[in-house]
Amino acid sequence: MSTEVVAYTSATCPHCHRLKAYLQSHGVPFRERDVATDEAAHAELQQMQAPGVPVIRVGDEVLMGFNPDRLDEALRSHGVATGA
């Protein structure tokens, strides 16, 4: 089974838009969870003690904020193929 990539976002977050564009441009399949409209996603975000969005989960690794270098490292370490 492949590693799941989940992006916790909100529609009004500019960093979330950058994260989604980055994942899409690198061909990384991901599932988006909008914490503003999805109560379960909001509860998961609180459980992770995240101060806000974006938060990305790569397998069991949770990254707070959008940092392309950290994200690339997490994707590589979990064997997630990218198109870049």
Pairwise CA distance, residues 63 & 2, whole Å: 18
pLDDT band at 49; cut points 50, 70, 90: very high
Domain positions in the chain? 6-77
pTM score above 0.95: no
- Alpha-carbon distance of 18 to 15, in angstroms, equals 5
The whole-chain average pLDDT of the chain stands at 94
Q: Over 80: is that where the pLDDT of 54 sits?
A: yes
Confidence of residue 69 (pLDDT cuts 50, 70, 90): very high
Tell me, which fold does domain 6-77 have in CATH? Glutaredoxin (3.40.30)
